[in-house]
Structure formats: C-alpha cells, structure tokens
Amino acid sequence: MAFQDLVFQTQAPPPALAEYVESFWQLANPSGVAQPVVIVPDGRVDTFFTYSATEPYNVLLLGLDTQPEAQVILPHTSTFAIGWKLLAADYVLPVRLADLPQHACYLPPDYLGMSAADLTDFAGFCAKAAAQIQQLLPAEVDSRKRKLFNLLYATSGTRTVEAYADAAAWSSRQINRYFQQQFGLSLKAYCNILRFRAALPDLKSGKLFPEAHFADQAHFIREIKKYAGVAPKELVRNQDDRFIQLSALPKK
C-alpha cells in the first residue's frame, strides 16, 4: 500500500477552539482494496465519524494510544475526524479517557449533531463541528491546566515533570494524580509520546538520532521500538508508507 492510494486532508480550527482542537481531518480509501497500516501514537485524542460501503455510519472516540496498532482501512471508506487536545478531554468530551474500555468507545450517532449526510463535504463538516464545539466550551478553565498543556505542546514534552510543575504552579504529585485519574497515564508517559511524535519528521528525513528529544542513542532506540514496534532504521524505510502517525500525514 502506498500513501497515494489514500486521500488525506486537514483543516486548522478557528482561533477560539485552538486550545481544545488540534485539527479537523479526513482520511479516505476510495479504492476497492483494503489498506493495511500501523497507527503509531501521537498524543492526540480523536473522534471518528466513519461511513463505509460495507459498514454502517458510526462515531468512535479513540483515547490516547500508547503502543502501535495494526489496522485495516476498508475499501470505499471515508472518515471525517476531530483531533482533540487534552484540554478538550477534560472539559468538552462526554467520556473520561481513563474510563474508556480498550481506549475506545462508540458515541451516539448524532454526536455534535452529525449524521452520515455530513460526510460528503469536508469544509461543511469542519464548520458544523466548530459551531457545535463552541457551544460546549466552559465558561472558566483552571489556569494551571491551561499553562501546563500550552507548555507541553510548545516544548514537545522535552522538559522534566518538575519543570512543567514549576511553570504551571502546580505540584508534580497533583499533576500525576490528575493525569492518572483523567487520562489513565502519567505525565511522564505522555511526555514520552510527545517526544516520539516530534522525532518522526527527523526520522523521515533520515536522521537516526534526533538529539533534541532523547538522552542518548540507546534511549532513542528504546523509545522508537516502544511506540512504533520496530527499530528506527525500519521506521525510516517505512516501506509503502505502512506506518502512519495521523497528525504527521502529508497534506494534500
């Protein structure tokens, strides 16, 4: 399978939603052949609105992936999706991520007022989703969480837990309790995923040691194997674009 067999497009959210939504995106397989891929973690939460010629319309909330997962994109399938940041998981999403069985659950088919008819126009989907999400935004947000998440994304998780705690004026013990209760993993584990995500562009360009994100070569290899399931050299080769990190797909 080559990536050119798939259709991918993305759109940034309106500024008012930027702290909650990373992007709106579409991934479609218009061919008559199933496309096997390996999805690797990117630190994002996604809601998938999917229609297939062989499967009924459904809405799936996928939590934080912590390991690679082999999947198949069915023939004649189109998925419109919302890529959420963690602030949305705390304030906007209807399900707590730590409570998700197997890191995923189906949402009501009319979630955000959507239906299968909305999966024919990507721009229209984005506009409708943005309007619906706007109505769900909280009147107030904990300033510590806002500072913490903004800094996490700005630094790709490369600082220590203590550094993030100091910057957010929030104890590391309280932060880790919050992360475990809300997201089902520690802040350090989430930082590791963000570092892995940030390393992928370097890997795709052939750099086998992204110095900015890992302590040494051994640490780098361990982390890549953990989240991609293969050694860095194989991930660089990425034969037929088999490994996909949704947030890092090339835009068309």
Give the integer Cα–Cα distance in Å for 107 and 104: 10
User: How far is the CA of 50 from the CAs of 79, 168, 211, in angstroms?
Assistant: 4, 38, 39
Residues 18 and 116 in one domain: yes
Residue 251 domain flag: no
Same domain, yes or no, for 129 and 170?
no
Quote the distance between the C-alpha of residue 139 and its chain's center: 25
Domain that holds residue 206: 143-236
Residues 209 and 108 in one domain: no
Residue where a domain stops, chosen among 101, 134, 167: 134
- Do residues 98 and 40 both lie within one domain? yes
What whole-number distance in Å separates Cα of residue 34 and Cα of residue 251? 21
Cα(156)–Cα(111) distance, integer angstroms: 31
**How confident is the model at residue 112, as a pLDDT?**
98
Is residue 252 situated within a structural domain?
A: no
Q: 128 φ, ψ to 5°?
A: -65, -45
Query: Which of 82, 103, 134 is the last residue before a domain boundary?
Result: 134
Ramachandran angles phi, psi of 158, nearest 5°: -85, -5
For residue 249, tell me if it sits in a domain: no
Are 7 and 129 members of one domain? yes
pLDDT score at 212: 58
Q: What is the pLDDT of residue 3?
A: 52
From first to last of its 252 residues, the chain has per-residue pLDDT tens of 445 578 889 999 999 999 999 999 999 999 888 888 878 888 999 999 999 888 899 999 999 988 888 888 889 999 999 999 999 999 999 999 998 867 899 999 999 999 999 999 999 999 999 999 999 999 999 999 999 999 999 999 999 999 999 999 999 999 999 999 999 999 999 999 998 888 877 777 777 665 556 767 777 777 777 777 777 777 666 544 444 544 433 344
Total number of domains constituting the chain: 2
Do 82 and 19 belong together in one domain?
yes
- pLDDT value of residue 210: 59
Q: What pLDDT is recorded for position 251? A: 41
Is 9 found in the same domain as 126?
Answer: yes
pLDDT of 238 reads 56
- The answer to whether position 114 is within a domain reads yes
Under DSSP, is residue 166 helix (H, G, I), strand (E, B) or coil? helix
120 and 225 in a single domain? The answer is no
Judged by DSSP in three states, 244 sits in strand
33 with 155, same domain: the answer is no
Assess if residue 245 is contained within a domain: no
pLDDT of residue 81: 96
Within a domain: 42: yes
Query: Rounded CA gap, 57 and 41, in Å?
Result: 25
**Residues whose CB is less than 8 angstroms from the CB of residue 6 and which lie 6 or more positions away in sequence, other chains included:** 27, 28, 29, 35, 73
On whether both 19 and 113 belong to a single domain, the answer is yes
Q: Are residues 98 and 194 part of one domain?
A: no
In this structure, is residue 243 part of a structural domain? no
Do residues 121 and 191 share a domain? no
Choosing from 111, 134, 157, the residue where a domain stops is 134
User: What integer pLDDT is reported at residue 66 of this predicted model?
Assistant: 85
pLDDT value for 84: 97
Q: What is the CATH number of the domain that holds 92?
A: 2.60.120
Residue 244 lies in a domain: no
Q: What is the CATH number of the domain that holds 163?
A: 1.10.10.60
